[in-house]
Structure 1
């Protein structure tokens, strides 16, 4: 059966007319239909819609800014209307000014998420929902697939470690779509919000993105393929370390390395762990930008050969534990400001719980660390059930 996104459902049979004339759009390069037509261009050309302004998340409307680079306010060069930045130089810039929503009949969110708690677009959606609730603007989510399916891994963020890579207590790999998360956010944050989710048609929670037949558009500059999305719930943890997560290479997050890693030794140690669905290839990388620019780094490529069995978080926790055991004097936690936070370690923000970092430092076995998260994982599965729009799978 053909899968139709919320975007296509929204445009079908004049459904869009239900939501008023003056419209704002939170969008990026993924805001396209199955024929790669951008929704902003489509709305601009509809006679009974006035597209008033665009809202730019991290990386910008057209995905040009790298990670943690501010997006400037502007007039969009293609659409020709104002762009409000939702990712500036301060934490306050993450929330849209009230005056940018008060003159709208509705504001639409249509961005491809990748199924990981760290990926910031879902919090852009959440913060915009909160402002929309304050001013009484209808909020519409055009739903898209979770590209890594419905499986759940990981723990919940502790309140003291809330940040833009974890602003709501959801699992690391949450297994939900943007529309389902919007329903959860609205209910659990007690928003007095007129919310409409336009659901997907014919999508299965067991599907991979490749199964959908939909074209993959990079949601951010370092997310080139659905396979990148699959390893990201684990490999994003490297952002909290002095190991390159592969930015500046052709396969970020699948490739990683550091000058002090001996790739064959690391590959052999990880092979002993018999991690499901994955193999590791020793190699060297030389990033063209970001960490270790121009330097030769030993590392690995992650080859996922059985996506249904692969557990990205377990894999990367095992990787970090192995790196810490083999090279304890070399592996370091990032201490620089990370996503506007400078008083807590980036790795703790990503884990959402400082106990996990300390368990790695104490040499606890990866399986024991995963067991620490199991109660959170099960409670989240129970919590999310009432917000799901598509059939549940065995977890």
Structure 2
């Protein structure tokens, strides 16, 4: 089945839409039919796995695939859990299938979880940003499959931020579940290409190799940012949030509210103690999005960045100007940075450079050589 994506063409202050045909990996059933025939199948997935209006699990079952278990990442199988919320094992009310949580204490499938699974399928929409945790879920699934001798099929999907590569490359001391690999903040690869890189670079524990098959999508190239048909997670509700997320998620490592607690997360930022700022809002708990936003119930002063979508598209790079401005304007008693900041950025230097008053170009210069080296590695794994 085919559906439409949007190629975004920037013209002055408006965005025109040109439709093109796209087929995600899971839609190309003939390309992987034989790999699943007669097998008991596990599926790592969430609400973004769709074939038209049908969930990917339902689609596979309709084709006669024997799906025996579902594995769910952060935000859960149906994608409704808040960021960081513990996800528990459950049973899907629609299919009756057991759901194994891969977020919380158990981030890696255990041997008992994989009992009876002969082939694993991974189908989750990524947004192309290092600290988006679906990448870490992919890593642990690949590792578990490699250890248990289970083939893995990654159903590829477009990356809406594939049109550029930028940001510090993660260093070892900052490895965590929000960043496991030595890649820039924005790495310009699809989830399938990234899986090939994890395997090829020996990043799995003990340098084990996963028996990996990537089913490519069709009708897309990396210069086409896409308007995703479903929000990939509760706090990335639309294309504007997805585009700004690589730049504004750094605020999660600070005292500044990053727009959680509003209907436009990652499109606004603010704090009660930011002075002389042009925009104000009050973050509030929102069920299914942000139950405990920073600065809840307080008037925050900051900026509305929604119109900066085009700026990011044209610059093809992260924008640190907003973070640097917030640091200069902040007058609160609470420290500006928290322990998460270095993990998001990927090193300890950027925090110090900001404190030292370095310019954006000074800071950016510090990661250019690492990004150039990464680009050489990346070439080996590109499909599109």
TM superposition score category, shorter chain reference: 0.7 to 0.9
Number of residue pairs aligned between Structure 1 and Structure 2:
351
CA displacement at 1:329 relative to structure 2: 4.9
Q: 1:104 aligns with which of 102, 113, 117?
A: 117
Task: Pick one of 148, 151, 171 that aligns with 1:138.
Answer: 151
Q: Equivalent residue for 1:155?
A: 168
Other-structure match for 1:386: 380
The CA deviation at 1:30 is 0.4
Alignment of 1:1-395 (within 5 A): 1-9=20-28, 11=29, 13=30, 15-20=32-37, 21-33=39-51, 35-47=52-64, 49-88=65-104, 90=105, 93-189=106-202, 190-210=207-227, 215-262=228-275, 265-266=276-277, 282-289=278-285, 290-302=293-305, 303=307, 304-311=309-316, 313=318, 315=319, 317-327=320-330, 329-330=332-333, 332-333=335-336, 335=338, 345-390=339-384
How far is the alpha carbon of 1:312 from its aligned partner?
A: 5.5
TM (normalized to structure 1)?
A: 0.85
Secondary structure, aligned partner of 1:98: coil
SS in 1 for 2:128: coil
| 8 Å Cα contact 1:154-1:376 kept in structure 2 | no
1:139–1:319 distance in 2 versus 1, CA, 3 Å: same
Instruction: Pick closer, same or farther for the CA change 1:29–1:186 going to 2, 3 Å.
Output: same
The structure with more strand, counted as a fraction of residues? 2
Q: Tell me, in whole angstroms, the C-alpha distance in 2 between the residues paired with 1:367 and 1:306.
A: 17
1:40–1:141 CA distance, 2 compared to 1 (3 A):
same
Partner SS for 1:208: coil
Shift in alpha-carbon separation, 1:129–1:379, aligned structure 2, 3 A = same
Asked whether the 8 Å contact 1:111–1:121 carries over to 2, the reply is yes
Q: Give a deviation string over 1:345-378, Cα, whole Å, max 9, x none.
A: 2101111100110100111111100010111111
1:225-251 Cα deviation digits (max 9, x unpaired): 122111111111111111111111011
Deviations 1:130-181 (A, max 9, x none): 0100011010000000112331001211111100111011110111000000
User: Which whole-Å CA distance do the structure 1 matches of 2:331 and 2:212 have between them?
Assistant: 49
- Cα deviations by residue, 1:178-228 (Å, 9 ceiling, x for unpaired): 000000001112332210000011211100103xxxx52011110101221
Contact preservation (8 Å) 1:320, 1:360: no
Cα separation, 1, equivalents of 2:151 and 2:336: 42
Runs of 4+ off more than 4 Å: 328-331
Tell me the residue number matched to 1:271.
Answer: none
Q: 1:259 to 1:328 in 2, by over 3 A?
A: closer
Q: Report the alpha carbon displacement of residue 299 of structure 1 after superposing the two structures with TM.
A: 1.4
Please say if residues 163 and 316 of structure 2, whose CA atoms lie closer than 8 Å, have aligned partners that are also in contact.
no
Please give the alpha-carbon distance, in whole angstroms, between the structure 2 residues aligned to 1:222 and 1:308.
Answer: 21
Cα distance change of structure 1 residues 222 and 54 upon mapping to structure 2, 3 Å threshold? same
2:16 maps to what in 1?
A: none
State how far apart, in whole Å, the 2-side matches of 1:63 and 1:145 are: 19
Q: Which runs of 5+ in 1 are unaligned?
A: 267-281, 336-344, 391-395
- C-alpha distance in 2, partners of 1:68/1:312? 27
Q: Give the TM-score of the pair, scaled to structure 2.
A: 0.88
User: Where do 5+ consecutive residues of structure 2 fail to align?
Assistant: 1-19, 286-292
Residue 99 of structure 1 aligns to a residue in which SS?
Answer: coil
Equivalent residue number for residue 273 of structure 1: none
Matches of 1:155 and 1:123 in 2, distance apart? Answer: 18
Distance in 2 (CA, whole Å) between partners of 1:245 and 1:325 is: 17
Question: In structure 1, the residue corresponding to 2:137 is in which secondary structure?
Answer: helix
Cα distance between partner residues in 1 of 2:162 and 2:241: 14
- How far apart in 1 are the matches of 2:342 and 2:282? 28
